Structure 1
């Protein structure tokens, strides 16, 4: 399955999406999802939650030293 993602404004409850040439004569599935804008307060809460865990979680692909390996 090939996907095409775009953001468009809805005008008078009508949405017009111009697809790339790869979609010519293709059968498509359409899913419409309303995007909620995050309020500044919500954004602040999310950032605060992330800061709370800073330093606890190891970065991806982290390789422990030999000492850390034995202490686990």
Structure 2
């Protein structure tokens, strides 16, 4: 299993945010990361799991066939 390790800059680009956001996730330990010496990397699968875990599904409202009375 070879999982690509992304730099913080690459992770930010993938999330569509500034570099500050993934750095804050790392500092608050809200996302798993790999430390290689002084370099920080985020596994692609971890980033995918973070995106999936924070995706909000739309609310499906079931409308009744009857309209409201005036």
**TM-score, normalised on structure 1?**
0.22
Say which structure, 1 or 2, has more relative contact order (CA 8 Å, 6+ apart).
Answer: 2
Larger Rg: 1
Q: Which has the higher strand share?
A: 2
Q: Which has the higher helix share?
A: 2
